[in-house]
């Protein structure tokens, strides 16, 4: 039994329930549109369930931003003091400052909860597209998913090269859209809501290159995964873009360009 099987079974139940609900409302159970909406449904349910983790991340970023000036001053004060007593005092002061500004003690640990879910979703859709039943996605539903098409391209197909230009256009179009969503989100929303001043130069440059690297990576990987999984990535990218825009607009990290933009807008109002 795979460690992710229980999570995959829950996610399979969500996809199967969405598919059942859509067909009950009159949708064609074998249509590609029905399956794409079922995949979109699992994105919505999962992302709604993970909102508490997102809220934790926003609170962590804002609290850390408020504490950053004091932590920077503390680091300068203890820069040349390396004896054990000074180090203990330094750690006590760090804990005090973090407590004063409400920095969660668990830090980024809750954010790691998302990783098993994303991996389980990947395995679920990859296995279903390959014809392997998973939980509530029984053999009949898996066969239906495998036979569903988008503009004549099977949702179970992989790769850019297939049945002519239509195949290339569908797969390449979804992959490029997914890459653009990731690039815009990271370049214009996440990056401007990140404080790079305290990072080493190498890490800051790496952070600046991440949007382009992520976009290129998605285009490359897009040629090796099922179309169903590409569709999931596109839906997930849309949600991430909207969610990041909300954080960028109303809950920017203190000290970031987004926070300075918000402060300037409020000052001129």
Question: Are residues 100 and 126 both part of a single domain?
Answer: yes
**pLDDT at residue 136, as a whole number:** 93
**pLDDT at residue 233, as a whole number:** 92
Question: Of 147, 164, 183, which residue constitutes the final position of a domain?
Answer: 147
Neighbours of 187 (CB within 10 A): 16
Question: Are residues 45 and 108 both part of a single domain?
Answer: yes
Segment 212-246, tens digit of pLDDT? 998 999 999 988 889 999 999 999 999 999 999 99
115, 48 contact by CB (below 8 A): no
Question: Of 147, 169, 192, which residue constitutes the final position of a domain?
Answer: 147
Radius of gyration (C-alpha) of the chain in whole angstroms = 23
Question: Are residues 125 and 158 both part of a single domain?
Answer: no
106, 136 contact by CB (below 8 A): no
For residue 161, give both structure tokens: 């090269």
**pLDDT at residue 172, as a whole number:** 92
Question: Are residues 76 and 32 both part of a single domain?
Answer: yes
Question: Are residues 136 and 163 both part of a single domain?
Answer: no
Question: Are residues 65 and 161 both part of a single domain?
Answer: no
Angle between helical axes of 114-129 and 5-24 (0-180°, round to 10): 60
Question: Are residues 158 and 142 both part of a single domain?
Answer: no
**pLDDT at residue 104, as a whole number:** 66
**pLDDT at residue 266, as a whole number:** 74
- 16 pLDDT band, cuts 50/70/90, is very high
Is residue 206 predicted with pLDDT exceeding 90? no
**pLDDT at residue 106, as a whole number:** 59
Average pLDDT of the chain to the nearest whole number: 86
Is residue 108 predicted with pLDDT exceeding 60? no
- Region 162-167 average pLDDT: 79
Q: How many structural domains comprise the chain? A: 2
Which of the pair, 45 or 123, is modelled with greater confidence? 45
Is residue 81 predicted with pLDDT exceeding 70? yes
Please tell me the distance from the alpha carbon of residue 35 to that of residue 16, in angstroms, as a whole number. Answer: 10
Question: Are residues 119 and 14 both part of a single domain?
Answer: yes
Is residue 109 predicted with pLDDT exceeding 70? no
Please tell me the distance from the alpha carbon of residue 190 to that of residue 67, in angstroms, as a whole number. Answer: 20
Domain span including residue 80: 1-147
Question: Are residues 160 and 134 both part of a single domain?
Answer: no
Question: Are residues 164 and 249 both part of a single domain?
Answer: yes
Which of the pair, 139 or 101, is modelled with greater confidence? 139
Question: Are residues 190 and 171 both part of a single domain?
Answer: yes
Q: Model pTM? A: 0.85
**pLDDT at residue 140, as a whole number:** 93
């Amino acid at each position: 039994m795979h460690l992710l099987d229980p999570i995959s079974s829950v996610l399979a139940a969500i996809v199967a329930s969405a598919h059942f609900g859509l067909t009950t409302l009159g949708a064609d159970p074998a249509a590609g549109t029905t399956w794409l909406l079922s995949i979109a449904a699992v994105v919505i349910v999962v992302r709604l369930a993970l909102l508490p983790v997102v809220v934790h991340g926003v609170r962590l970023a804002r609290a850390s931003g408020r504490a950053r000036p004091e932590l920077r001053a503390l680091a300068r004060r203890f820069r040349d003091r390396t004896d054990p007593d000074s180090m203990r005092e330094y750690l006590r002061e760090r804990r005090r400052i973090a407590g004063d500004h409400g920095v969660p003690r668990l830090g980024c640990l809750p954010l790691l909860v998302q990783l098993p879910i994303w991996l389980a979703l990947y395995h679920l859709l990859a296995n279903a597209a390959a014809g392997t039943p998973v939980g509530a996605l029984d053999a009949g539903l898996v066969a239906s998913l495998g036979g569903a098409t988008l503009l004549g391209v099977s949702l179970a197909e992989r790769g850019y090269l297939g049945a002519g230009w239509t195949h290339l256009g569908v797969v390449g179009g979804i992959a490029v859209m997914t890459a653009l969503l990731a690039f815009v989100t990271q370049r214009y929303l996440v990056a401007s809501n990140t404080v790079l001043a305290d990072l080493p130069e190498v890490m800051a440059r790496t952070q600046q290159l991440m949007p382009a690297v992520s976009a290129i990576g998605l285009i490359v990987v897009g040629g090796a995964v099922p179309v169903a999984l590409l569709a999931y990535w596109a839906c997930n990218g849309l949600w991430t873009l909207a969610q990041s825009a909300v954080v960028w607009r109303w809950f920017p990290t203190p000290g970031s360009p987004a926070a300075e933009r918000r402060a300037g807008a409020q000052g001129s109002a």
